[in-house]
Chains A and B, each alone.
Chain A
Amino acid sequence: MTASPLLRATDLWKAFGEREVLRGVDVSLARHEVVALIGASGSGKSTLLRCLGLLEPIDDGQIFLGDEDISDPRVDANRVRARFGAVFQSYNLFPHLSVLDNVTLASRVVHRMPRAQAEERALTLLERIGLSDKAKEHPDRLSGGQQQRAAIVRAIATDPEVLLLDEVTSALDPELVGEVLELVRDLADDGTTILMATHEMAFARDVADRVVFLDAGTIVEQGPPAQLFSAPEQPRTREFLARFTA
């Protein structure tokens, strides 16, 4: 796709005990690219995202962010993690902090930004998603969709180079899914580099530059959404997609 990908993993292996979850995955992500990971539950999507973001140690393989081998045990993992943004299924906002403090925490504590500056920036972001009036509230006063949007804003508040999204709409009521996907679409339009695991096939088709189908810990097929959804080459891909369109 591009000459030098922003994030690149080669031959990733990961097992939990005897169960091999990733079995030699090669994946890359160009700057400003939006890639959707699809696959059944247990196919290794979440594990792949966590391994790439150094939230889970890998058993073998290499991960490069830019030109740096971030899977080298000599690198400072915390410094690398600060360059990623990650959002999970179950929001994971900190319940003891206000929405504003949730969003500014990493800016203040990790990036040493002065509070006033961090809050100004956070309020701009919250304004954009229409949550500025909830800034002083604690997460339990927000709906699931609002919490998840706040969690996404928290992840992008530090201007991460790559945004990892792990099924960010799976825990939401159907009528709340739209507002979260809308935010992800805005971010994609702004040029944010995104790798997302998702079950929202229509959304993936619409927003992603490339779709990667993962099955039993290996990449079966990948390509532009129009091609992968309309004319999948592998029988396994066809079988998986058939269940969504049936």
Chain B
Amino acid sequence: MTTHQPSALEIDRRAYRRGRERRSIGVAILSSLVFAALLWVSVFNTPGWAAVQRFFFSPDIALRALPKVWDGFLVNLQVLAFSVVTVAVLALLIAVARTLRQPVFFPLRALAAGYTDLFRGLPFIIVLYLIGFGVPTVMNTRIPPVVLGVIAVTLTYSAYVAEVIRAGIEAVHPSQQLAARALGLGYVQTLRRVVLPQALRKMTPPLMNDFISMQKDVGLISILAATDAIAAARSVASLTYNFTPYVVAGILFILLAIPTIRVTDWYTERLREREQAGAIL
């Protein structure tokens, strides 16, 4: 229980601080109003704004485009859902292959290192062209664009995610491995029981980042003749000579990303609090 009664001086000081706080709030409100007024004068109240509104934000065309764009968006979600699983599995395998230390695994290690170099360096759009158009040509068969999309996304994103996992594993202090091995745990047991649980915490923020970036990049499968959200938007846009359908598709992608972004921010903040608890010098 706090029993101390603040002195008159302290009460004065508190009143002064509260006064400063009220002043800051007032200043913030005033500057927001000024900013809003400036925005109004310089953007919305200009002759060009009507044209911008007509070509980018037309409610009629948005309503016409929405059903088609939504159907296409479901295709994107499908690719995303499959890719999350395949990326997780492939990336974990590559990451573990890169951390194997025994000489006998050298070829595996080199292969994994080469893979991450290759697919992190290669522009995603080239992977898409090579997989999307190259593979069906070589095999001389028709392959559903969704499958091709999943393969392309998996190849590229596994390389990024594998590096995140590897960095997470290596960021766990070696003394932890030593302690686990001293208890008699084997390599895989050490990895599974001691290293990965700690690594997961460190790698969640960058993993979430890659996930957000993947959510957007599944939109690129529109170049593979898949009728996804962006392809649907393109067809409505070219019919109406209006860009509103792209805005509609864009809004859908943003709505998809926002929960992930919020969760990432929340988790990162919680992690920071936990790691710095009681560590103020």
Q: What is A's interface to B at a CB cutoff of 8 Å?
A: 11, 13, 15, 18, 20, 23-24, 50, 55, 59-62, 71-74, 88, 90, 92
Given contacts A73-B16, A73-B20, contact A20 B2 (CB under 8 A): yes
The chain B residue sitting closest to A14, CB to CB, is: B4
Complex Cα distance, B3 from A20, in Å, reads: 9
A60/B2 in contact, CB under 8 A:
no
Given contacts A88-B281, A92-B281, contact A72 B13 (CB under 8 A): yes
Q: Inside 8 A of B16's CB, which chain A residues have their CB?
A: 73-74
B281/A59 in contact, CB under 8 A:
no
Q: Is B239 an interface residue (CB 8 A)?
A: no
> Chain B's nearest CB lies how many Å from the CB of A44?
14
Q: Among the interface residues B7, B17, B20, which one has the most CB atoms of the partner chain A within 10 A?
A: B7
Q: Inside 8 A of A55's CB, which chain B residues have their CB?
A: 281
B2/A73 in contact, CB under 8 A:
no
Q: Is B9 an interface residue (CB 8 A)?
A: yes
Q: Is B182 an interface residue (CB 8 A)?
A: no
Q: Inside 8 A of A60's CB, which chain B residues have their CB?
A: 4, 6-7, 9-10
Q: Inside 8 A of A62's CB, which chain B residues have their CB?
A: 9
Q: Is B25 an interface residue (CB 8 A)?
A: no
Instruction: List 16 interface pairs A-B (beta carbons < 8 Å), by A numbering.
Output: A13-B4, A20-B2, A20-B3, A20-B4, A50-B281, A55-B281, A59-B6, A59-B10, A60-B4, A61-B7, A71-B13, A72-B13, A73-B17, A73-B20, A74-B16, A92-B281
> Chain A's nearest CB lies how many Å from the CB of B11?
9
Complex Cα distance, B20 from A74, in Å, reads: 10
Q: Inside 8 A of B10's CB, which chain A residues have their CB?
A: 59-61
The chain B residue sitting closest to A72, CB to CB, is: B13
A23/B4 in contact, CB under 8 A:
yes
Complex Cα distance, B2 from A100, in Å, reads: 46
Q: Is B43 an interface residue (CB 8 A)?
A: no
Q: What is B's interface to A at a CB cutoff of 8 Å?
A: 1-4, 6-7, 9-10, 13, 16-17, 20, 281
**8 Å CB contact of B2 from A15, A61, A88, A92:** A15
**8 Å CB contact of B13 from A15, A23, A73, A88:** A73
Which 4 pairs across A and B sit closest by C-beta, in order of nearness? A60-B10, A88-B281, A13-B4, A60-B6
B17/A59 in contact, CB under 8 A:
no
A15/B4 in contact, CB under 8 A:
yes
> Chain B's nearest CB lies how many Å from the CB of A140?
15
Complex Cα distance, B5 from A11, in Å, reads: 12
Q: Inside 8 A of A15's CB, which chain B residues have their CB?
A: 2, 4
**8 Å CB contact of A18 from B2, B6, B9, B281:** B2
Q: Inside 8 A of B6's CB, which chain A residues have their CB?
A: 59-60
Complex Cα distance, B1 from A138, in Å, reads: 46
Complex Cα distance, B7 from A71, in Å, reads: 14
- 20 further A-B pairs in the complex, CB-CB below 8 A; given A71-B13, A92-B281: A11-B7, A15-B2, A18-B1, A20-B2, A20-B3, A20-B4, A23-B4, A55-B281, A59-B4, A59-B6, A60-B6, A60-B7, A60-B10, A61-B10, A73-B13, A73-B16, A73-B20, A74-B16, A88-B281, A90-B281
The chain B residue sitting closest to A92, CB to CB, is: B281
Q: Inside 8 A of B4's CB, which chain A residues have their CB?
A: 13, 15, 20, 23-24, 59-60
> Chain A's nearest CB lies how many Å from the CB of B238?
53
Q: Inside 8 A of B1's CB, which chain A residues have their CB?
A: 18
Complex Cα distance, B6 from A72, in Å, reads: 15
Complex Cα distance, B13 from A11, in Å, reads: 15
Complex Cα distance, B280 from A90, in Å, reads: 11
Q: Inside 8 A of A72's CB, which chain B residues have their CB?
A: 13
> Chain B's nearest CB lies how many Å from the CB of A68?
15
Q: Inside 8 A of B13's CB, which chain A residues have their CB?
A: 71-73
Complex Cα distance, B7 from A90, in Å, reads: 35
Complex Cα distance, B210 from A23, in Å, reads: 51
Complex Cα distance, B2 from A62, in Å, reads: 19
Complex Cα distance, B145 from A2, in Å, reads: 87
The chain A residue sitting closest to B6, CB to CB, is: A60
Q: Inside 8 A of A74's CB, which chain B residues have their CB?
A: 16
Q: Inside 8 A of B7's CB, which chain A residues have their CB?
A: 11, 60-61
Complex Cα distance, B11 from A59, in Å, reads: 10
The chain A residue sitting closest to B2, CB to CB, is: A15
The chain A residue sitting closest to B279, CB to CB, is: A90
> Chain A's nearest CB lies how many Å from the CB of B7?
5
> Chain A's nearest CB lies how many Å from the CB of B152?
39
The chain A residue sitting closest to B1, CB to CB, is: A18
